[in-house]
Amino acid sequence: MKGKLYLVATPIGNLEDITLRAIRILKEVDIIAAEDTRHTLKLLNHLNISKPLISYHRHNEEVKCDSLINKLLEGENIALVSDAGTPVISDPGEEIVKEAINNEIEVVPIPGACALVNALIASGLDSREFSFYGFLSLNKKIRMEKLKQIMTERKTSILYEAPHKIQNTLKDILNEVGDRNIVLARELTKIHEEYIRGKVSELIEKIENFKGEFIILIEGNNNILEEDFFKGWSLEQHYKFYENQGLDKKEIIKKIAKDRKVVKNEIYNYFITYNKKNEA
Ligand code: SAM
């Protein structure tokens, strides 16, 4: 009988954030494949678990994948863990999952901590729909393309970033995406856990000397509207919509005329008559 591949989530800081099921699986499997065996050994020592560890990281993923698949085919059960959080999410594992599926080996996720999910639920930003971008590429062209995509994204965008690159990435966000509302989720589940909220420009200054791990959450672009979004609205409702965004009368009339593809004067005259009627 073939073995099973378990994808086991581990804590992202606080060691209490490991599930009972994860502990049981780590105790039961034959082998643990770990992104960094020394790092995982600390967790296993804390849990009093002793198991053969095999290193499985980005740079040996292809080579190690074959030998792990062979062990699974021979009937051994393997748990895959990353340094922190959920394996495969911006961490190694996709390769072996695909190969396991190709070999009809059962893949079982063991849920637990995932940095992006926890950052999102406490961010206060729209969580109904969101886009996760992982780490931005270091390749300038690809990086700029992604940032342009984020600029027009209506959903909350979530990015991972390495601690020493956070300032640079925020500067790129400011230049390409704009001075949007963002949330920086810092050191989740650890002593210095905090959520820093504000405009990109404010946070660049604020976090200058901050250390630790960060997740960047960017509020969606609310200014991009569907064509005909105003369908069914009266002109007064249309006016109120822009007024609520802090626009002045002149700007509002210009925008309404543009939306409705009519000349500005038509809208302007309507409101003069409307105001006169209401004053009478
Ligand atoms: N697979 C992991 C997950 O989804 O939970 C993420 C691994 S990824 C290599 C590491 C990135 O996740 C960090 O650079 C940071 O952006 C984010 N991260 C992980 N743990 C974090 C924490 N405790 N607080 C804030 N960000 C964290």
What is the spatial distance between Cα 225 and Cα 82, in angstroms, rounded to a whole number? 40
Per-residue pLDDT, 152: 83
Residue whose CA is closest, atom 18 of ligand 1? 115
Which residues contact residue 16 at a Cβ distance below 8 angstroms, ignoring those fewer than 6 apart? none
- Does this model's pTM top 0.95? My answer is no
Q: Is 153 touching ligand 1 by the criterion CB < 6 Å?
A: no
12 Cβ below 6 A of ligand 1 = yes
Mutate to test the pocket of ligand 1, among 7, 8, 10, 12 (most ligand atoms within 8 A of CB): 12
Regions of the chain with pLDDT less than 50 = none
Q: How far is CA 162 from CA 170, 183, 210, 211, in A?
A: 12, 16, 13, 11
Instruction: Give the pLDDT confidence score for residue 204 in this predicted structure.
Output: 94
Cβ 115 under 6 angstroms from ligand 1:
yes
* pLDDT at site 279: 73
Q: How much is the pLDDT for 280?
A: 67
